[in-house]
Structure 1
Amino acid sequence: MTTTFSPGTSVTSAILNITNGTAAPFRLPFDDVTVTWCAVFLLSFLVIGFCGSLLTIIVILSCTKLQSVVFNQIILSLCFADLTSACVSWVNLYRRTWGFNQFLPPDFFCWFYWGADILTSYVTAMHFVVFSVLRFVSVWRPAYMENIKIVHVKIGIFVMWFIGFISGFVPVALLSGVSVIDRSDLSIPNARWPSCTQYLETISSYGDMIAITFPLFLYAPCMAIMMLFVATLVVTKRKRRERLPSISAAPVASLHQKEEREEERALLQVSLIVVSFVVGYFPFTIFEFYAMNNTDSSYEGWKAEWLFGTVQYIFMRFSECLNPIFYNCASAEMREKSLEVLRCQVCRWHRQPIVEIPVSTTNSVISQSEAQL
C-alpha cells in the first residue's frame, strides 16, 4: 500500500490519502498558535537584521575614515552575510509552517535558501576567526598591524567567500530542493522534514558533507575563537601588570591610556563574537546531526524534532540581529556615525516641502510694487 500526503485546509491539519480510496486525518507537529509565535519572532528578526546590517553598511561606505580601518572591512563583509541571511529567512519560516507539506514558490527559492544559509554560516565563522586573530595581534604586537593593508584584507575576504561558496553553497544547493514527502513511515528521516529539504536519494551524501565541513568550518572556528579570547585576555592582563610599577610622564601616561582603551575594545569585540557564535551556531550544528540520526517515529518524537529545528533557527537569527549592535557597542566612532546617519534620515523625513511660487504670480507682484513707486 502506498500513500501520498496532501495539504489540508489548516496549517496544522492535513489528509493522508491512501490508494485504496480511504482517507485518514493527519496531525502535523505544530499548531496555529506556535506558527503565529514563530512568525512574530522571525519576521521581527528579519526586519531588525535587515535594517541593522544595512545601516552598518551605509555608515562604513559613507565614511572614508571608517573604510581605512582594517577591522571595519571585515565588519562590512560580515554585514553583507547577515543581510543575505535576513533576506532568505522568510523561506525557512514558510517551509517549516505554511509550506511544510506543499512548497508553493518556485524550486529556486528552496535550493537557493539552503545554499545561502550554509554559505553565510561558513563565511561568518571564517570572518570571526580572522577578526579575532587580528584583534589578538593588535594587542600582542600592535606594530605588526601596520604591515596589514586594506588590499590584503579585501583579498582575504574574497578568498573566504569563494571557499564558502565552493564548500557550502554549491554542494548543499545541489542536494536540496522541493519534493513530495511520503509521511506514512516516520522512521525515514525525510518523512519528518518539510517539503523543501534535502532529497531522499542524497541524504547520505548530505550527511557525509556536514560530517566533514561542520567540524572544519564551524567547530574548529568556535574553538579557535575561544582560545583567542583567552589569549587576548592573558596578554592584556600581562601588559597592564607591566605598566603598573612605572611612573610615567604625562605624554607616556596618555599613550598608555590609549593602549588600554584599544585593549578593552579588542576584548569586548572578541567576547561578543564568542557569544554570537555560541548562541547562533552551536544549536544549529547539533540539530543537523540530531535530525540526520533521529529514529523516533512517534508523533511526540516528530514534534520534538520540529520544535528543536525551529527554536535553533530562531536563535541563529537572533544572534545575527545582535551583530550590528555588537559592532556599534565596541566602536565609539561607529556609534557616532550611525547616529549621524539616523539623524539625517529623520530630518529628511520631517523636512517641510518647498512651495514654489509660479513665475506669473511673482511678476505680477513685482509690477504692482513698481506701480506704487
Structure 2
Amino acid sequence: MLHLSDIQQAAARIAGQVLDTPCVESRTLSELTGAQVFLKMENLQFTASFKERGACNKLRQLSQEERQRGVIAMSAGNHAQGVAYHAQQLGVPATIVMPGFTPGVKVARTQGFGARVLLHGATLEEAAAHARALAADQQLTFVHPYDDEAIMAGQGTLALEMLAARPDLDTLIVPVGGGGLIAGIATAAKALKPPIEVVGVQAQRFPAMVNAVKGEHHAQGASTIAEGIAVGAPGVHCVEAIRRHVDDLLLVQEGDIEQAIVLLLEIEKTLAEGAGAAALAALMRHKQRFAGKKVGMVLSGGNIDPQLLAQIIGRGLVRSGRLMRIVVGTRDVPGSLARITALVAQAGANIDEVHHQRAFTLLAAQNVEIEMVLQTRSREHAADVIERLRAAGLEVRQQP
C-alpha cells in the first residue's frame, strides 16, 4: 500500500533530477469557467511529460547489480522517453519495446536518449508481452508505466509541489489512463489535506478505470487523440488507491479535448497533448460542478504530433466560427466570381479556398455553385458575411 512517506522519500530522491514545474494561475480560464484555475505545467519537463518522475524514482532504487543488467519498458510515447532519459543519466542500459505503429519521431527521440528500441507487435498488449518475455529471458528489470508503487510514488510528488505552491487548493483534476498518476497524487493530497477533492478524467473512448471503479459498462473505442491515457486495463495497485482516495471520475468527449488543446494554445500559449488537456476538457464540460472552487489542474504532457495539432487547430477554428464553408449559387458568366470575392472582402472576411462546382449540382446548366472556405473573426462576423451576400441577391448556404 502506498503511503505519504513513500512519496516524500521519492521527492527527496528525484530532487534536482526533474523540474519542480510552475503551478500558475490562469485568470482567463478562471473567467471562462467560473473557478479559480491553477495549471501545473508538466509539459515543461525535459521530456515534456510527468512520466519522468516515476521513471526517475524507480531507476534510482535499483541495486547495483540491477543497474548493470539494465532495464526494459514498454511504451509508445512518454514513458519510453522518461525511462530512456533517466537511464541514460544513471548509465543504466535501457531497452524500450514499442508497438509497430509508433510514429518515427517518437522512436527517434527515444533512441536519442541512448535506449535500444525494439518495434514489436501490432498492439500495446503484444509489445508488453514481448517486453515481459525479454525481461525474464535476459534478467532485465521491467519498468511498468503505472502499476508499480515506485512509479506511483514518483508521480505523487506532483501533489507535494502543487500544495506547497498553492496550499489553498480545494480541488485537483487529474488525467487518468492506467491510474499511476492519480493514485500517487490522491494518496499524497488526501494525507496532506484530507478535505481536498480529487477528480480523475478519462477519455470517453477509453473508460477502463471508470468501469473498474464505478462498476459501469461503457464501451471501449479504438482510438483517441488522448493516446497518453488510452489504456485498456487499469493497474491493480492503482485501482486500490483510487477507490480509497479519489472522489470522482469523469468522462470527456474527443471534441472537449480538442477544444481544451486550442484554448491552452490561444490563452496560455502552452502546448498540451490530448491527455495533457483532459483536465481542462473536464472543467469546461462540467463548469457548474467546479464553480467557485480553487482548482489545480495537471497539464500532464505536451508531446503531440505536429500534423495532428494542425488538424485540431483547424477544427477548433471551425468550432469557434472563425473558419466556415459556404456554397454560393450564381450565374456562370464572366465577372461572377470577382463580384462575390469583392463582397467577401467588403465584409472583412478572407478567402482560404475556392472551388467551382458545375457537374455535381442541381442548379440549371447556366449556373454554378462556388464553394468557399472563409476566415472570419467570430460566429457573429460569419453570420454578417452570409447576410451581406444574401442582401446582394446571391443564394448562400453554410456547409457543416
> Normalising TM by the smaller chain, what interval?
under 0.3
Which has the greater radius of gyration?
Answer: 1
Higher relative contact order (CA 8 A, sep 6+): 1
Larger relative strand fraction: 2
- TM-score calculated relative to the size of structure 2: 0.24
Larger relative helix fraction: 1
- TM-score calculated relative to the size of structure 1: 0.25
